[in-house]
Structure 1
């Protein structure tokens, strides 16, 4: 039985910040979301968390952490590299009735699959300076998660869900949509954060595709890097570093005069399979 957790029962977040002298550090990409109504909205948007262990990255003073504990999640494991916040979160740990664990570590060096049991999900207001590499690492094993509910800079979120033919469509769009179904949930203005960043933020949800296009991860990275590295050129030119571009395009059923931004995810997967067939990659 899950003990009901009241996120408002603890001292206000601004008091916690003042008591512990918690200034936001730009080098760590820290911007605090202190409005418990907004953190509650993010936690609820993650869906039904009954029986799920939630991993949070960069909890900071604990606004989203409190909101996650107020859900039906079985447990919350927060990964925080800044020791100041590890200390400041101890009051939340004590109030959580054993449901909150703080792991002091760099999230880039932590494997959530090894860290917590299934079913697991990740819900986080990601530090902006490491958001993309973290996401790519999780997408490689998206099947291991019940879902990812993550906050990004709006510009990054736009790229994640961009469709072929748009200016935002690029490598990140292809990789994300190849591995997952990505959906924008809502935006948050800069003024919602302390200190306010220079950009809006967007919460995006990812769930594993039930039938992803078969392709090798590293080969997809090579193909998209070549194609979008010279995105204004026709594919028959931009793909030359991969070998016989014309033959590869023919095998993938793609028009050599097309440009990268015009090719759908399935087209890049077909191209990756053609490259793998020639190089022996599996």
Structure 2
């Protein structure tokens, strides 16, 4: 199916990227097709997209054969998305609303992949929300998400590196996270001030005996004062310092030196 160029659609509807909504538009169809290919074969698969804007990535997902449900809070973009839905009958459902206030489980009765050029101002909050569910494996089969490059590097960071922190532990303690692609700022309209990158996350095995909420509390405490030794940063979390001692973890270490397994062990001790 031949669609009008996205630039023409944007011009016809008088659209411009909203700084308040963290929007930056992508027009390069080859780049968008490469992004849509990262999760693997999407033919007849359910996909959730957040913040489609005028529908650049949405087009690529539809071209890949996906059945897309898109959440968009910018009412200006809805007419352009409605045209796209008409062009792909029964393949695109647009939900107007704030993705932070919508539970994806209410939108799907089947497993689904999440693919999104996330708005910069809500990307991290959405990501940590998807990672923190108590039920595991989750209903989503993979996350393919664009972030500012600095945030993406924090998600995939290894212990002992400057980027390693709470995001890395939350993303890696029961998932596999990789940096799938870097995207130059010049690819966007308007160009953001920073570079971007796409992270791909797939669920992995759930360590036994660990409450996900405890992992969040442990990492929040440990990295909340990351320059301090663990005995200082974690003293506000009941039982944490004693857990370090029982596990043989030196309380004079700093949080960025602990690997994922050590954080899991601390959380397991405090969960019991």
Normalised by the length of structure 1, the TM-score is 0.91
Q: Does 1:93 align with 2:90?
A: no
Residues in 2 aligned to 1:99 and 1:92: alpha-carbon distance in whole angstroms: 10
Deviations 1:190-219 (A, max 9, x none): 000000001111011010012446421222
Matched, 1:67 2:60: yes
**Counterpart position of 1:241:** 236
Separation in 2, partners of 1:47, 1:253: 42
SS of the counterpart of 1:257? coil
| Alignment check: 8 A CA contact 1:171 1:228 kept | yes
Equivalent in 169, 177, 182 of residue 177 of structure 2 = 182
Counterpart Cα distance in 1 of 2:24 and 2:65: 26
- Other structure's SS at 1:215 match: coil
Which of 77, 80, 83 lines up with 2:75 in the alignment?
Answer: 83
Residue of structure 2 in register with 1:220 after alignment: 215
Corresponding residue of 1:111: 103
Cα offset for 1:33?
0.6
Change over 3 Å in CA distance of 1:212–1:42 after alignment to 2: farther
Q: Is the 8 A contact 2:70 2:93 kept in 1?
A: yes
CA distance in 2, matches of 1:210, 1:246: 27
State the 1:245 CA deviation: 4.5
Return 5+ residue gaps in structure 1 as ranges. Answer: 1-5, 278-282
1:131 aligns with 2:126: no
Q: Secondary structure of 2:242's match?
A: helix
- Provide the residue aligned with 2:157 in structure 1: 162
* Structure 2: gaps of 5 or more residues: none
- Count of aligned pairs: 269
| Deviation at residue 244 of structure 1 after TM alignment | 4.7
Structure 1, residues 63-117: CA drift from partner, whole Å, max 9, x if none?
10000001132x1111100011111211111110211111101011111122122
**RMSD between aligned residues:** 1.4
- 3-state secondary structure, aligned to 1:94: helix
SS in 2 for 1:164: coil
3-state SS of 2:43 partner: coil
Deviation at 1:162, TM superposition (A): 0.4
Q: Relative to structure 2, which stretch is displaced further, 162-171 or 49-58? A: 49-58
Maintained 8 Å contact 2:49/2:71: yes
Distance in structure 2 (CA, Å) of the matches to 1:252 and 1:91: 59
Does residue 114 of structure 2 align to residue 122 of structure 1? yes
Bigger share in helix: 1
SS at match of 1:129: coil
